[in-house]
Structure 1
Amino acid sequence: MPLYEHVFISRQDLSNTQAEGLIEHFGAILADNGGKLVEHEYWGIKTMAYKINKNRKGHYAFLKTDAPAAAIQEMERLMRLHEDVMRVLTIKVDEHAEGPSVQMQKRDERGERRERRP
């Protein structure tokens, strides 16, 4: 089955447990449609570059999935209809990266930054 990565932003006035509950909810939708949630990360509340639906901040979540296209379409459809979800980004990938995402790594563990050219 194809591999996908998703990032979604939910409203800032949700509690942490409600935001993490959304991850479980959408994972259950995938499971009902023949897919599976491989891994998920809750990134916490982050400030956005611009307001979305009058919100300056949002709960960010990252999902790694292994599911058929029909299951992904159904999950995205339900995400768009859900009143707590503000934005969704889905990307099809060839393989999932091992370990935590860059957002979850400490600054010390990240690779060195390149120097800027003059």
Structure 2
Amino acid sequence: MPLYESTLIARPDISGQQVEGLSEQFQEIVRDKGGDVAKTEYWGLRSLTYRIKKNRKGHYLHMQIDAPADAIAEMERNMRINEDVMRYLTIRVDALDPEPSAIMQSKASRDGRGRGEYRSRGSERQGESSSPPAEAAAGGSDAKETDSGGGGDSGAAKE
């Protein structure tokens, strides 16, 4: 069966539970037509780049689907009818990626950051800032030696 990825944006004024209900509704349609939803990711309530139907935010839902074309057509027909779905896009792919999508990976890395990591990063900066002046001092003495070796009055006084 062909493989698809489908992403939809739902209205911001519905709850997370209602978004899960939408997900279940579309998964059921795919299963009834002989397909399978391999993975579903809820990306959360995100800001939109531009307004869609007078909304600045939307709930993002991403699905990886292994289903025949008529199942996808029926799912998209229901997305068009449903008033909670503002936009959707379904594309055909060669293979389904078992790993989390790039959005979920970046979200996980942001969730992992805490105040402790920020503090440790700041202490590294302090350690780095103390070592360059030592190098600069060593570099500065080398610069003086090369300057004095260039001739001139100060060079004559050393000889």
Note whether the superposition's TM-score is higher than 0.5: yes
Larger helix share, 1 or 2: 2
Q: How far is 1:106 from its partner?
A: 3.3
Q: 1:9-41 CA deviation, whole Å, 9 max, x = no partner?
A: 000000011111111110001011111111100
AA in 1 matched with 2:18: Q
1:9 is matched with 9
Q: 1:63-83 CA deviation, whole Å, 9 max, x = no partner?
A: 000000001001001101101
Larger Rg belongs to: 2
1:94 is matched with 94
1:82 is matched with 82
- Whole-angstrom CA distance in 1 between matches of 2:55 and 2:107: 28
AA in 2 matched with 1:82: N
- Whole-angstrom CA distance in 1 between matches of 2:12 and 2:107: 25
AA in 1 matched with 2:92: K
AA in 2 matched with 1:33: K
**What percent identity do the matched residue pairs reach?**
53
The 5-angstrom pairing of residues 1-118 of structure 1 reads 1-106=1-106
Which contiguous aligned blocks of 4+ residues in structure 1 show a shift greater than 6 angstroms? none
User: Structure 2: where are the runs of 5+ without partners?
Assistant: 110-159
User: Structure 1: where are the runs of 5+ without partners?
Assistant: 110-118
TM-score computed with the length of structure 2 as normaliser: 0.66
The number of residue pairs the alignment matches comes to 109
- Whole-angstrom CA distance in 1 between matches of 2:107 and 2:82: 34
Q: Considering Cα pairs closer than 8 Å and 6+ residues apart, tell me whether 1 or 2 has the greater RCO.
A: 1
Larger strand share, 1 or 2: 1
- Whole-angstrom CA distance in 1 between matches of 2:108 and 2:30: 35
TM-score computed with the length of structure 1 as normaliser: 0.88
RMSD: 1.3
- Whole-angstrom CA distance in 2 between matches of 1:34 and 1:98: 21
AA in 2 matched with 1:53: K
